[in-house]
Amino acid sequence: MTARHLRLSLLAVAMLCVAPAPASAAVHSSGRAVAASSGDCSSSGFPAQRDPRNPLDLPSSAHDPASSNPLSGARFFVDHKKGLAVPYLGRHPELRKIADQPENKRFTRFTGNGSPADVLGNVRKFLCRVRADEPGTVPTASVYRLKHEKCGNQADGPGEQRAYRRWMYAFARGVGRTPMVLFYEFDSLISVRCLSHRGLDVRIAELRYVLKKLSALPHTVVYIDAGAADALSVRTVARLLNRVDIRSIEGFFLNSTHFDWTSTEVAYGAQISRLVHGKHFVVSTAVNGQGPLRPRNRVRDGNEVLCNPPGRGLGPRPTTKTTSKLADGFLWIGNPGLSGGKCHPGDAGNGQFDLRYALGLVKRANERLGPHDRSRSF
């Protein structure tokens, strides 16, 4: 069962980089020199201590210390070399609408990150490339490591719990002092209905443990997945967020695997925030320019079609200038063009870039925030 299919069933029921940095990357954005001889080019040059007013260690010229938004002033990394849409630009220049935007780098157990050593090396390699290709930018990344294989009285056994902690510990080591915006563990809370009572306790313990480790990273701003407005009730998700101790991180993120309107998700996030110590949130706007596709039978098929729904479009382009003081950003957490599975004839496999799907998203791109807003194609 794919992650997309799992969400449908839930809704229906409710290395190491050792090369020195090149000369072009030898200066940190705040003016500090990077130690080119350092064995770990990903973290060198960043202070060990966290400034709560500037957790991403942004240059003073870019960040307002009086702002309550930790992302304000950040320039996010755009992967002009290895972005998902880059290989297709020659034949389809319209894909610039995707390729020119910050892409969320995913680290999952399915994409060459199976072992702790794999993820450690791959994280460092990626962060070294960020510093070499676009010095001074901040990468956004996500983690998807928990297993979601079956639905019904599930619980991670002791071996899997140990494996998960080792993997996440290696990920945190890979990040080190490097500034990063991290969207932690897709589906970690939206899938709890598939767990047994013991499984839920285990899941909460796993998340609490990892959030504590991640919160110790000096320049990582962490948001945890809180689903979407048409997935879990406000009180349910708030209760879960409090159980995992959301106070230890920046906040939560929404709509990463859904297509819901931005305005709906902002209202939903604000309601949750009131119940979780005023924590901030980020809304994914990658593919919600046309809003969600509602199935005819919501009881049977869920509140929206999640697997490559036809007629959707790119949503508002990434920005930290949002419509709410509680919303730190409208970012493309769900990468446009990634297939949710072979849901229709000709679809690419789960997690693969689907050219036909991506071109459709580009064609129908729209930056309106809600169904009654004025159309703003781009």
Averaged pLDDT score across all residues of the chain: 89
For residue 37, the model assigns a pLDDT of 32
Taking a C-beta distance cutoff of 8 angstroms, is the pair 76, 162 a contact? no
Read off the tokens for 271: 């309601």
Taking a C-beta distance cutoff of 8 angstroms, is the pair 28, 135 a contact? yes
For residue 302, the model assigns a pLDDT of 81
Residue 280 β-bridge partners: 251
Largest distance between two CA atoms of the chain: 61
- The rounded distance, in Å, linking the Cα atoms of 182 and 281 is 12
pLDDT over threshold 70, residue 137: yes
pLDDT in tens, 63-121: 888 899 999 999 999 999 999 999 999 999 999 999 999 999 999 987 778 899 999 99
pLDDT in tens, 258-292: 999 999 999 999 999 999 999 999 999 999 999 99
Structural domains of the chain, ranges and CATH numbers in brackets: 3-23+67-363 (3.20.20.40)
pLDDT over threshold 50, residue 25: no
pLDDT in tens, 297-324: 886 778 899 999 999 999 999 999 999 9
Read off the tokens for 377: 């194609």
Integer CA distances (angstroms), 122 to 65, 174, 185, 335, 349, in order: 33, 8, 17, 19, 23
Taking a C-beta distance cutoff of 8 angstroms, is the pair 101, 343 a contact? no
For residue 16, the model assigns a pLDDT of 36
pLDDT in tens, 143-173: 989 876 677 777 889 999 999 999 999 999 9
